[in-house]
Amino acid sequence: MVLLRFAPSPTGPLHLGGLRMALYNHLYARKLGGKWILRIEDTDTTRSVPGSVEGIQKALSWAGLDYDFGPARDGPHGPYFQSERRDLYRSYANKLVDNGQAYRCFCSADELADVKARLARSGSNNTYDKKCLHLSDEEVARKVKAGEKYVVRINDGIVPTRPPTHDIVYGYVRDAHLSLATDPVLLKSDQFPTYHLASVVDDHEMGITHVLRGEEWLPSLPLHLDLYTHLNLTPPQFAHIPILLNPDKTKMSKRHGDVQVVDYMRRGWEPHAILNWLALAGWGAKHEPEQPAPSGTSSSSSRSPSPHRLEDAPDSTHLMTLSEMISGFDLPALTHRSSILDVTKLEYINKHHLMRTWSNPKGLEELAKRVHGLVKDVFKASPYTTVNNIKNAITLLEGRLTNIHDIPIHAPYLFVEPDWTSVEAQSMIRDISVEKRMHIIDAFMTVIQANGWLTFEAASHESIMVTLHQEREKLGVQLKVFMRVLRHALTGMKDGPAIIDIVRALGHERTITRFQAVKDVKDVDDVDVDAESKK
């Protein structure tokens, strides 16, 4: 069975790069008819943060990425916490030691630092002098019996014969053993494994067929393949994913930038829009046919392009459902470069996902209910924060709404009376006399009341505009002045939806009440708009 794994460390909230990695695992597993595991790599106890696992699970659930096996979803591959698999790692480490492919190193941290500095001064690229490799079996046994702490290192001088290093995304990669630390540590002195050993052991023991992970592990791939060969294990297929960058082109991390998934959850972004945005970050490359595997080894890596895409990949703002992502996703179509996450693309994608959702009554109802608590909290004293009124707000704002949480910003006038004394409201009518404003308001009220409210609601937008133009012409007022006065009276805001749509959203009673109330507002001469604007 095709089986993948998403293996985060519990070092804090899940960030966008982690969510994209989980998404790619989900897409590829489902595309191949397989399953995926959530595995918690908690072997570095000094960096573990309480509550991180629950936060990761919550973020994945919010995004709709349902893992098949893992914490709270038992299966045949557990345990799913690496801290509960220590005996397994020790047994594999001992097997490597017994076979002479690894050895115990008793050097202290101070000794190792001195050796590394000495080697650097001599111009060597080595980071360790392999001192403990040359200890006799008797010396090793004596030190172990005496309780001396040790780590287990792989002997990188033994390079096994195996197939060339290949990656699904990057193609064939030249082995780069010399770019790694000398004799990398497999088992630490606290008997916890390093990533090198733990990932190989767990991926084999769990039956992982495809490993998707960050490109920072690409230089370590030859080492990991060596371990598989030493242990006589069949390796999975590897795909190293180019990382995401912050807008300033720095590496995205939990400690840098606004990258935590929980922040996007709190701000009301649509989970499917977030997935759409992340999926397309770096998806869309076209590569030349793959070259034959290079021979030999080198201290630098050389990456041959992956096979040419048979189909055009989507552009960076292409709207996709999760099922469409699954059917269209292809690892060789990923770019070989790191990708910058552009929030303006998220705004575009989120806006159109919202439009898809509210295009049917059930989706509109769900959106209104989801944002109901927020609207009530913003307008605590308002009697108009009902689900139905929020549905009216969503429908009214349509293409203007980028994020569902922006309703209170774009349409406060649907829930509370406008502040006609605000700088923005006063600036709208500063050059229009009170008399002219009252005539315009009376003219609009006449249009509403002429044939009754029901007739007004049923009339087309075009027919109402014809009637309004007739009234405007009787007054001899310019169109922009006429509409500005109405917008001021109804919303107190310069920009917004069409006047007729606002009136219909407010309803007959609230519209008439608002027109009557605005007549009591003081003249704009009482407010120094320019002075207020400079504050």
As a dihedral over the C-alpha atoms of residue 332, residue 166, residue 90, residue 139, rounded to 10 degrees, the angle is -150
CA nearest neighbour of 167 among 408, 400, 415, 336: 336
Angle, CA of 518, 484 and 464, to the nearest 5°? 95
Cis before 418? omega within 30? no
Structure tokens of 445?
A: 């009220």
**Tokens standing for residue 338:** 């790191």
| CB neighbourhood size of 98 (10 A) | 9
Tokens of 485: 């006065």
C-alpha 212/C-alpha 20 separation (Å) is: 11
Q: Find the distance separating the first CA and the last CA of the chain, reported in whole Å.
A: 66
Annotated catalytic sites, by residue? 254
The tokens for 372 are: 């109901």
Q: Which amino acid is at 145?
A: K
Give residues with Cβ within 8 angstroms of 513, minimum separation 6. none
**367, 342 in Cβ contact below 8 A?**
no
Quickly tell me which residue has 């012409």 as its tokens: 473
The token pair that represents 457 in the structure block = 């609601």
d(CA 416, CA 111): 71
How far apart, in whole angstroms, are the C-alpha atoms of residue 328 and residue 322? 10
Bridge partners (DSSP) listed for residue 103: 153
Q: Among 128, 171, 168, which residue's Cα sits nearest to residue 151?
A: 128
Q: Quick one: 194 exposed, middle or buried, by C-beta within 10 A (0-12, 13-18, 19+)? A: middle
Report the alpha-carbon distance of residue 187 to residue 194 in Å, rounded. 6
